[in-house]
Amino acid sequence: MPQYDFDLLTIGAGSGGVRASRMSASYGARVAVAEERYLGGTCVNVGCIPKKLLVYASHFAEDFEDAAGFGWSVGARSFDWARLIENKDREIARLNTVYARVLDDAGVKRLEGHARVVDPHTIELAGRTYTAANLLLATGGWPALPEIPGIEHAITSNEAFHLKELPRRVVVAGGGYIAVEFAGIFNGLGSRTTQLHRGELFLRGFDDDLRRTLADEMRKKGVELRFGVRMERIDKHGDVLRARLTDGSELEADQILFAIGRAPNVAGIGLEEAGVALDSVGAVVVDAYSRTNVPSIWAIGDVTNRLNLTPVAIHEAMALSATLFANRPTVPGYDDVPTAVFSQPAIGTVGLTESVARERFGAIDVYRASFKPLRHTLSGRDEKTLMKLVVDRASQRVVGAHMVGPDAGEIIQGIAIAVKMRATKAQFDATVGIHPTSAEEFVTMRTPVTSS
């Protein structure tokens, strides 16, 4: 009789937890996964998927306007927030059933309820205990909120997906990708939108040219960006919220959304009692193979606060499954991970920023193109696309590729393969472009704009 109920017991059925459970089962392991909320985790339910659907919805106002330049007459139109949310919810419910079917088909046992680690091999859930040779923590993150008076009147991205009606005036606090994306969503759907950020410019860690370009373009679209300021209190007067800012000014809004970051979701799952080490921000500390200081307990995804992206959590899950059950120890890789911000216009990026490349290599060449996309020669819209390559001068390897503009994420996904393969600028130059596209600029930039 086996010593434990399972070979692997995963806490958290988000993207990483589901993938690790399914792949481990495919290698012959006896697997269970515990989830207290919804299958698919943040990404499927209150993150990547519903957010992208709302981004699509928010683009139509501009598309209707642009149609006139191409000979189309668009008649009376209106927007129904409730219908959008209803349709979004239906799609998310479908995805929940898909995740359930994937786990069931793989032979993974699903445990519903709040799981708590009791000891290095045991969890407690709904009054029962379950044991496993290995426990996997995949509980993700949770929106953080500041401790200011009146914070109970604010919402986070979690609640934004379930608002009963579209707010007429919105204040978005935060400078990360979630804040930027929701500012674009609300603005595009017709809300008067103000975004606050305490720093001089949002999207810290992204290339500076991307950050400046996006700020310019968002302002053109009507988003009020206020940098170097924070919210210090919120007062509620009837249905109106009044935000007092650190510069002494006040803003009135129907909704105030805080997107100032996410914290590792570790509260109440017994990690301290089990002796699992956490870092200064509460993230689970792991080694290169995703193992905690407790040999039988592992962790992947946002709860480890390494690189908090859904595809990275899935990558970590694949590596962990191979390590534990395929006799193939695998270390996840974090170099040249492409990412996109579904801002308006969108950002796509892979590799090193100009400033980081300069620090690492010293001498670099920077290629940059800024232009009006062909579409807007007839639409009349004043929107620019930016493309940029960062090249290590000594090796001539392209070490960074960055874009602001329509379909940036789709374009950078392909460019990321070349960057990952350590392609040189000469190989980019030797690639024939697809004309007429914006993407061809990545293989037609010939003269560096800066060299140092």
pLDDT in tens, 131-166: 999 999 999 999 999 999 999 999 999 999 999 999
Q: Both 299 and 361 in a single domain?
A: no
Question: According to the model, what pLDDT value does residue 89 have?
Answer: 98
Burial of residue 255 (CB within 10 Å: 0-12, 13-18, 19+) is buried
Same domain for 24 and 87? yes
pLDDT per position as a tens digit, 112-126: 999 999 999 999 999
CATH of the domain at 179: 3.50.50.60
Which of 45, 286, 266, 20 lies closest to 142, judged by CA? 266
The answer to whether 435 is a known catalytic residue is yes
Catalytic residue among 114, 162, 237, 435: 435
User: What is the pLDDT at residue 349?
Assistant: 98
Q: Dump pLDDT digits (tens) for 237-284.
A: 999 999 999 999 999 999 999 999 999 999 999 999 999 999 999 999
- Cβ distance 123 to 11 under 8 Å? yes
399 belongs to a structural domain: yes
Q: Are 21 and 62 in a shared domain?
A: yes
- Model confidence at 303: pLDDT above 60: yes
Query: Do 254 and 300 share a domain, yes or no?
Result: no
Give the count of alpha carbons within 13 A of 2, CB side only: 11
Give yes or no: residues 166 and 17 share one domain.
no
pLDDT confidence band for 451 (50 / 70 / 90): low
Q: Which residues contact 217 (CB under 8 A, 6 or more apart)?
A: 344, 345, 383, 384, 404
Whether residue 267 is found in the same domain as residue 227: no
Same domain, 253 and 267: no
Mean pLDDT of the chain: 97
The pLDDT of residue 148 = 98
Would you say residue 331 lies in a domain? no
Residue 196 has pLDDT above 60, yes or no: yes
Going across the sheet that includes 231-237, the strands are 231-237, 240-245, 250-253
Question: What total number of domains does the chain contain?
Answer: 3
Q: Is residue 332 part of a domain?
A: no
> CATH code at 366?
3.30.390.30
Domain extent for 222:
151-260
Contacts of 160 (CB under 8 A, 6+ apart): 182, 255, 257
Predicted confidence band of residue 70 (pLDDT cuts 50, 70, 90): very high
**Are both 245 and 284 inside the same structural domain?**
no
Is residue 50, in this structure, part of any structural domain at all? Answer: yes
pLDDT band for 450, please (50, 70, 90 cuts): confident
Confirm whether 75 is domain-assigned. yes
The pLDDT value recorded for residue 433 is: 97
Could you read off the pLDDT of 91-106 as tens digits, one per residue? Answer: 999 999 999 999 999 9
| Tokens representing residue 52 in the block | 């992208």
| DSSP β-ladder status, 450-451 and 364-371 | antiparallel
Mean pLDDT of 205-214: 98
Q: Within this chain, do residues 275 and 318 fall inside the same structural domain, yes or no?
A: yes
- For 295-325, give the DSSP string: TTEEE-GGGG-SS--HHHHHHHHHHHHHHHH
- Give me the pLDDT at residue 1, please: 54
Q: What is the pLDDT of residue 2?
A: 81
Q: What does the pLDDT read at residue 242?
A: 98
Return left, alpha or beta for 396; rule: phi > 0 is left, psi -120 to 50 is alpha, else beta. left
Residue 232 lies in a domain: yes
Give yes or no for residue 342 having a pLDDT over 80.
yes
- Residue 327's pLDDT is what? 97
Average pLDDT over residues 30-53: 97
State pTM to two decimals.
0.96
Mean pLDDT value across residues 426-439: 98
Check whether residue 358 and residue 369 sit in a common domain: yes
Residues listed for the chain: 452
Domain assignment present for 65: yes
**Pair 410, 434 in one domain:** yes
Residues 155 and 249 in one domain: yes
